[in-house]
Amino acid sequence: MPFRIHKEGYLILLIAALLLIGLYWLITHYWPILKWPLAVVCLVMYGLVVQFFRNPVRTIPFLDNHLVYAPCDGVVCVIEEVFEPEYFKDKRLQISIFMSPLNVHVNRNPVSGTVAYAQYHPGKYLVAWHPKSSTENERTTIVYKTESGTEILMRQIAGAVARRIVHYVKAGDAVQQGEDMGFIKFGSRVDLFLPLDAEINVVMDQVMKGNLDVVAHIK
C-alpha cells in the first residue's frame, strides 16, 4: 500500500524535526556519552509522529451509494438507536468508530452526493468514548444527501487528546465517496447517523478500515 503523509502533518513534522534536532544537539553537546541512545529515542519519537499523519492510498472496492463505507480507521464502539437533536431531530441508527492515536486519522466521505449541512461546534474535550462526547465535545457535523435523497449525518468528534478538527467540505459541495473530507488530530471518534431501515453490517468492537469496510446498506 503506497505511503503518503497527510497535508495536515507537514508543518507539525517540520516543527517536530527542528525541536528534536535542537534537543539532540543541546544534550549531546554537554553529555556526548548519550549520543547514540538519544539518537534512537529521537528517531522513535519522530517515527510515531510520522505514523500518525500517514495517509494510505485506499481505493473503494466498489462505488455504490447503497453502501456506506467506513469514514475512518478504528474500532466500532457504539451501535444503537438514538434521537439525533441537531439536524434530523428524530430517531436514527448511530454507528460510532473510535480512533486511537495509533490509527490513521484521515476522514473520508462515506457516500457520494451533495453536502446538505456543515457546521463546526466548539466544545469540551471529554474522552471520545464518553456518551456525551457526541453532543458536548468539539465537533463538526456534516450531512450528505445521496442522489436517491437519503441523508447520512457524519460527526467528527474531538477526544481528550485531540484539540483540532479539520474538514474540507461545505454546504452545497458535490462530493465523491471515498475522497478525503477531513482530519482529526490525536485520538478521536466519528459518528454516523443512518436511517432506521439501514441494514447494519458491523458488530461491536469490530476493527474498521476507512474506504475498505462497509458499515451499512441503505436505500
Q: Record the cell numbers describing residue 182, joined without a space.
A: 477531513
Give mean pLDDT, residues 66-80: 94
Window from 11-20, 137-146, 185-194 with minimum mean pLDDT:
185-194
17 and 81 together in one domain: no
Q: How many CA atoms lie within 13 A of 155 on its CB side?
A: 25
Long-range contacts from 17-26, C-beta under 8 angstroms, 24+ separation: 17/46, 20/45, 20/46
Is pLDDT of 1 > 60? Answer: no
List, in order, residues 6 or more apart from 187 with CB less than 8 Å away.
99, 100, 101, 128, 159, 160, 161, 162
- Residues 123-142 pLDDT 10s: 665 655 555 556 667 889 99
Across 133-151, b (16+ Cβ under 10 Å) vs e yields bbeebbbbbbbbebeeebb
Residue 188 annotated to the active site: yes
| Residue percentage of the chain with pLDDT more than 70 | 89
Domain housing 32: 7-52
96, 133, 134, 188: which is the annotated catalytic residue? Answer: 188
Give the total number of structural domains in the chain.
2
Task: Determine, yes or no, domain membership for 130.
Answer: yes
What does the pLDDT read at residue 5? 84
Give mean pLDDT, residues 22-26: 90
Query: How many other CB atoms are there within 10 angstroms of residue 25's CB atom?
Result: 9
Task: Determine, yes or no, domain membership for 59.
Answer: no
Is 80 strand, coil or helix? strand
Residue 183 pairs in a beta bridge with 106, 166
Q: What pLDDT band is residue 212 in, cutting at 50, 70 and 90?
A: very high
144 and 37 together in one domain: no
46 and 88 together in one domain: no
The reply to whether the predicted model has a pTM over 0.85 is: no
Average pLDDT, the chain: 87
